[in-house]
Amino acid sequence: MTASQTSTSKAMPSTMFEKIWDRHIVVERDDGQTLLYVDRHLCHDGSRQGLSKLKNAGYTVRKPKQTYATPDHYRPSNAKTIDDFDDDLMRGIIEELADNAKVFGFHHFGLESDKQGIAHVVGPEQGITLPGLLMCCGDSHTATHGALGAYAFGVGASEVAHVAGTQTIWQRKPKSMRITIDGELGFGVSAKDVVLAVIGQISAAGASGHAVEFAGSVIRNMNMESRMTVCNMTIEAGARVGMVAPDETTFAYCKGRAFAPKGDKWEQAVADWRTLTTDEDAVFDTEVQVDGNAIAPMVTWGTSPENVISITDVVPDPSNETDPMRRKIQEGALDYMGLKPGDRMTDITVDKVFIGSCTNGRIADFRAAAAVVKGRKAVVSSLVVPGSVQVKRQAEAEGLDKIFTDAGMVWGEPTCSMCIGMNGDTLQPGERSASTSNRNFMGRQGEGARTHLVSPAMAAAAAVTGTFADVRDLMAK
């Protein structure tokens, strides 16, 4: 690294985000743009446009050893190998990523690799993601990696080419926001419920232009997988990134992973990571307080993650909205979703359940879902898709896959699957899903599809009841 990338700490107290930002400055322009050094570049099968642009221009990948690729968006959930692909386009996209890896020499976790999976699941579990790093990926949910104290964000196709070719990225420094969630989560309440409640409180644009740091007792008491769920969906509140300060939970999670430092380098790294926490007197541009005690199992009712209520609530009436534009949007959302004000969420039937994605495709998510499903039968079509090969193997070693299949649910191969529907896993027009994914926009899971975002436990409850159900009632039996 250059001297500018290891600049000394400021005289004034700094936030975690400011400390990491300052470490990665290469040059600052008068127009407010800053060139930042990129420590890790994650790629997936959807990165092909950026990589092809680089290749066609005759350039090389600047730091292939700091570039990691895995197919995730286009792998069918029923395809174990490339020979199982029915769609030639999908097969070609997967093969193109492998070809680019050979041309450029970067890490490639192909379908045959035990490291394959969704980029935002693979990065942390392989130790590619570490505290203090600046990371980019051509996917908006790169914010996931901020759970480990990294500054991680999504980039577009042209930026993928820029990062690959230069190992740098131009950025305008965002404002800072701290969201403090204190209290104690109740029975049946998970990290997914927490982040949905946050978005419901501040809106889908509430964190626009900000780098968000999550703090408070609720966050401190979360395991790493739960923190990843929270940071993953920070982008749905409009934020650039979501971050959690590294602590003993972070260090324990990272230790011993494939690409993490070893021996003396590990001790040196941890000593450095301990300095990344926000200084006591640091000032944020925006402060938000959330009552963790008040959060219940949540479910979205509209076409934005901010359209969210407790499972015990009823669909709100747009006429109570004072902002004319928001009222019109809510009316349109209800029309699209086939709902009306006053509908009880527990009366709404479900056509399909999806458990997986970079939001909720980790081992803890499947344990939570299996605890609900065990001894019961799914009464609607249900697809359960692990986020990586390692997650799949661990779930199978624990017998979780058998719990799902015994219930009549489908156990798939590691992929993004129905979260975005690029691999063929979609809803039919008008069908309604209980989904552990991160977005419920119109058509997200297929043309005319109606997506309701829930936690893994809540999705499992919907699978075995056929309606949106309060998982607390099921687990109490």
What span, in angstroms and rounded, lies between the C-alpha atoms of 140 and 263? 34
Residues 145 and 257 in one domain: yes
Q: Is the model's pTM score more than 0.85?
A: yes
Please indicate, yes or no, whether residues 269 and 351 belong to a single structural domain of this protein: no
Q: What's the pLDDT at 11?
A: 64
Q: What is the DSSP string of 210-251?
A: EEEEEESHHHHTS-HHHHHHHHHGGGGGT-SEEEE---HHHH
Structure tokens at 363: 């081992």
pLDDT per residue rounded down to tens, the chain (477 residues) = 444 444 444 468 999 999 999 999 999 999 999 999 999 999 999 998 899 889 889 999 999 999 999 999 999 999 999 999 999 999 999 999 999 999 999 999 999 999 999 999 999 999 999 999 999 999 999 999 999 999 999 999 899 999 999 999 999 999 999 999 999 999 999 999 999 999 999 999 999 999 999 999 999 999 999 999 999 999 999 999 999 999 999 999 999 999 999 999 999 999 999 999 999 999 999 999 999 999 999 999 999 999 999 999 999 999 999 999 999 999 999 999 999 999 999 999 999 999 999 999 999 999 999 999 999 999 999 999 999 999 999 999 999 999 999 999 999 999 999 999 889 999 999 999 999 999 999 999 999 999 999 999 999 999 999 999 999 999 986
3-state secondary structure 51-91: HHHHHHCCCCCCCHHHEEEECCCCCCCCCCCHHHCCCHHHH
Q: Of 274, 289, 316, which residue constitutes the final position of a domain?
A: 274
User: d(Cα 440, Cα 294) in Å, to the nearest integer?
Assistant: 24
The answer on 390 and 257 residing in a single domain is: no
| pLDDT at res. 477 | 62
What is the domain range of residue 22?
3-175+246-274
Residue 104, in any domain of the structure: yes
Which tokens sit at 449?
Answer: 């599809």
Burial classification of residue 432, based on how many CB atoms lie within 10 Å of its CB (0-12 exposed, 13-18 middle, 19 or more buried): buried
- How far is the C-alpha of 367 from the C-alpha of 477, rounded, in Å? 18
Tell me whether residue 70 is in a domain.
yes
Q: Are residues 159 and 74 in the same domain?
A: yes
Domain-located, residue 50: yes
Is residue 444 located within the same domain as residue 364? yes
Q: How far is CA 37 from the centre of its chain?
A: 23
- Count of domains observed in the chain: 2
320: Cβ–Cβ under 8 A, 6 or more apart, which residues? none
Q: How far apart are CA 203 and CA 88, in angstroms?
A: 41
Whole-number Å distance between alpha carbons of 203 and 466: 29
With respect to residue 258, please indicate whether it lies within any of the assigned structural domains: yes
Q: Where does residue 446 fall: left (phi above 0), alpha (psi -120 to 50 degrees), or beta otherwise?
A: left
Evaluate whether residue 218 is within a structural domain: no
Question: Position of tokens 């097969």?
Answer: 91
Residues 261 and 403 in one domain: no
Going from the C-alpha of 403 to that of each of 50, 114, 433, 454, the distances in angstroms are 41, 23, 21, 20
Query: Both 256 and 376 in a single domain?
Result: no
Residue 327 resides in a domain:
no
Do 268 and 351 sit in the same domain of this protein? no
Cβ atoms of residues 415 and 385 within 8 Å: yes
- The Cα 179–Cα 73 span in angstroms is 31
65, 308, 365, 431 from 303: Cα distances, Å: 40, 10, 24, 14
| Encoded amino acid at 338, one letter | G
Decide: 410 and 208 in contact? Cβ < 8 Å: no
- Tell me, yes or no, whether 47 and 130 share the same domain: yes
Residue 46 resides in a domain: yes
Give yes or no: residues 31 and 153 share one domain: yes
3 Cβ contact partners less than 8 Å away, ≥ 6 residues apart: none
Does any domain span residue 328? no
Q: What residues pair up with 140 in beta bridges, in sequence order? A: none
- Same domain assignment for residues 40 and 124: yes
Residues 6+ apart with CB under 8 A from 473: none
Tokens coding 127: 């130790």
The CATH number assigned to the domain holding 42 equals: 3.30.499.10
Q: Helix (H, G, I), strand (E, B), or coil: what is residue 47?
A: helix
* Token pair recorded at residue 307: 């359209």
| Distance from C-alpha of 86 to C-alpha of 127, rounded to nearest angstrom | 33
Other CB atoms within 10 A of residue 280 CB:
6
Query: Cβ–Cβ contacts within 10 Å for residue 220, how many?
Result: 15
Distance CA 40, CA 123 (A): 10
Using alpha carbons, select from 350, 338, 347, 381 the residue that is nearest to residue 453: 350
Give, rounded to a whole angstrom, the gap between the first and last alpha carbons of the chain.
Answer: 58
CA distance 444 to 439: 7
433 vs 150: CA distance, rounded Å: 33
For the purposes of burial, counting CB atoms within 10 Å of the CB of 264, is it exposed (0-12), middle (13-18) or buried (19 or more)?
exposed
Of the candidates 108, 40, 125, the one whose C-alpha atom is nearest the C-alpha of residue 71 is 108
Closest to 202 measured CA to CA, from 156, 233, 247, 223: 233
Single-letter residue type at 279: D
Separation CA 119–CA 142 (nearest Å): 8
Residues 67/41, Cβ–Cβ less than 8 Å: yes
Same domain, yes or no, for 270 and 400? no
- Tell me which residue of 5, 18, 20 sits closest to 282, measured CA to CA: 18
